[in-house]
Amino acid sequence: MKISEVTCKSVVVKSRIYGVDYAVNPYTGCQHNCAYCYATFMKKYTNHREPWGQFVDVKVNAPSILKKQLKTLKKGRVLFSSVTDAYQPVEAQYEITRKCLTQLEHASFFVSILTKSALVTRDIDILKDLSCEVGFTFTTLDETVRAQFEPGSSALQDRLHALKEVSKAGITTYAFFGPILPFISDTPQAIATVFSILEEYVSYVIVDKMNLYNTSWERIRSVLTNWNPELIPKYATLRAGTDYESVLRKRIAKAATVPVEYCF
């Protein structure tokens, strides 16, 4: 894993994500190394030769740049993060996300965190004083599957424990159930299990299907080849186009026990 310290000229960017005004990305690259990651295109903005998931650029001046940028921005909703995970392991050492959050303490922006890391519980002291919500991503509740598709992320047990801790602290919590892994976490039973486990701790769930773009397909196929090659032809069928979306929507609508927002 190559960790480099870099400086940035800007750390808040306008976001086109639905319901989000700005995104803060304290790092470029992500140790979580998810097979389906849609942010791998960020590699072209670096000089790294390492594959995605094997490098992180730490924006060491991000907190001071954020402080300056906040003075010039209209109030809005700020997502941590859109093309990295603000609580990936390197954050334990550098605390760039924590220092960025302290810049938001006296600003009237709404902070939305989305992570696959239990490290977020470290910042409960700051988050309690912010106008914010904390979301945890779940693509599966099977730890074996998690280790295949999100090898660098927090174990599911730790992630669930963190969700409970944040919720217990009185901070609004939500779950991002996605991308839902076809033929793995998209069965009626798997979806019902996700809702039954999360319902007690989250205000709502955002759901998303798996997008099998050419860029992510190579990485996903590589995981499937080593782990469960029988799924490859099934995924190939999905890539060719089916009525999968409507089937999935119906399954989710049937299983949902908290409000749901669909990304597809």
Binding site for ligand SF4 (CB under 6 A): 30, 32-34, 37, 39, 84-85, 116
Region of 32 please: left (phi>0), alpha (psi -120 to 50) or beta: alpha
HEC profile of 182-205 = CCCCCCHHHHHHHHHHHCCCCCEE
Please say which residue, 65 or 210, places its beta carbon nearer to ligand SF4: 210
Residue 113 Cβ vs ligand SF4, minimum distance, rounded to whole Å: 12
- Give the nearer residue to ligand SF4 in terms of CB position, either 185 or 256: 185
Neighbours of 210 (CB within 10 A): 23
- Of 32 and 251, nearer to ligand SF4 (C-beta) is 32
> In this structure, how many other beta carbons lie within 10 angstroms of the beta carbon of residue 122?
17
Question: Which amino acid type is present at position 80?
Answer: F
Closest CB to ligand SF4 among 45 and 199? 45
**Residue 55 C-beta: closest distance to ligand SF4, Å:** 12
Least Å from the CB of residue 32 to ligand SF4: 4
Minimum CB–partner distance for residue 117 and ligand SF4 (Å): 8
CB of 232 to ligand SF4, least distance (A): 21
* Residue 85 or 186 having the CB closest to ligand SF4: 85
Q: Taking Cα atoms as reference points, which of 110, 154, 159, 167 lies closest to residue 136? A: 159
Q: Token pair of 68, please?
A: 């300056």
In the bound state with ligand SF4, the residue whose beta carbon lies nearer, of 33 and 103, is 33
Closest approach of ligand SF4 to the CB of residue 130, in Å:
22
Report the residue number, 116 or 209, with the smaller CB distance to ligand SF4. 116
* Residue 69, C-beta contacts closer than 8 angstroms, at least 6 positions apart: 10, 11, 12
Compute, in degrees rounded to 10, the torsion defined by CA atoms 16, 139, 124, 167.
110
Q: How far is the CB of 84 from ligand SF4 (least distance, A)?
A: 5
